[in-house]
Amino acid sequence: MLSMDRLIGEFDRALRAVAGVARSSRPSPGEGVLESELGVAERAQAAALMRVNHVGEVCAQALYQGQSLTARNEEAKRALRKAAEEEEDHLAWSADRIRELGGRLSLLNPVWYAGSFAIGAAAGTLGDKWNLAFLAETERQVEAHLSGHLEALPPEDRRTRSVVEAMRADEAKHRNTAIQLGAAELPSAVKLAMRFASKVMTTVAYRI
């Protein structure tokens, strides 16, 4: 049974995720990197890509929250909580970078959050092996997605790139943790459905 404190804590986390006021425990990797001269179009492009990444992190928060509420194994729970903390850093870093670039967060954040929470909780009820399988695949797809963004970002925008690179390194670590904890391999139809869902999310979030 969940305690009231835990529920309030999770709710607070959800609200902060959606509103873009996450707290980071590690400073942003962009902090030490000088701002480069960017044209209007380049700034807009970088801000839109970071908005997509921010939405990805909102979804990650919701997924991890949904999963940690349903996970059974103590070790898995701890690993999920640790990863969720790092995802919260990503959330804060990307929101900060969007503000620096003069962009805005996705207007649909509450929708992304609710959908991902439901998926995470559903995956959690299938048991830890599948819970972790889902997580490993999500992290793998996010990692691939961030690699694509590193190609699409203006090459001279080193400050944004340093944030994306650090996030990608964390996602790789999260995927390995899930595998080490005993993640199963998802059926390819499920992986395909996940790719499709993320394509919809990224296409919409790039604009709205």
Residue closer to Fe ion, measured from CB, 51 or 174: 174
**Which one, 38 or 113, has the nearer CB to Fe ion?**
113
CB of 45 to Fe ion, least distance (A): 21
Q: For the CB of residue 172, give the shortest distance to Fe ion in the complex, in Å.
A: 9
Q: Which tokens belong to 60?
A: 């990650």
Q: How far is the CB of 110 from Fe ion (least distance, A)?
A: 19
Q: Which of 128, 39, 19, 141 is nearest to 75 (CA)?
A: 128
Fill in the per-residue mask, 174 to 193: x = in contact with Fe ion (CB under 5 A), - = not in contact. x-------------------
CB of 41 to Fe ion, least distance (A): 27
Residue closer to Fe ion (CB basis): 38 or 205:
205
Interaction residues for Fe ion, span 17-76 (CB under 5 A):
60
Q: How far is the CB of 129 from Fe ion (least distance, A)?
A: 19
Closer residue to Fe ion in complex, CB, 157/171: 171
DSSP string, the chain: ---HHHHHHHHHHHHHHHHT----SS--TTTTSPPPP--HHHHHHHHHHHHHHHHHHHHHHHHHHHHHHH---HHHHHHHHHHHHHHHHHHHHHHHHHHHTT----TTHHHHHHHHHHHHHHHHHT-HHHHHHHHHHHHHHHHHHHHHHHHHS-TT-HHHHHHHHHHHHHHHHHHHHHHHTTPPPPPHHHHHHHHHHHHHHHHHHHH-
Which of residues 70 and 141 has its CB atom nearest to Fe ion in the complex? 141
**118-177 binders of Fe ion (CB under 5 A):** 139, 171, 174
Site for Fe ion, residues 87 to 116, rule: CB under 5 A: 87, 90
Binding site for Fe ion (CB under 5 A): 60, 87, 90, 139, 171, 174
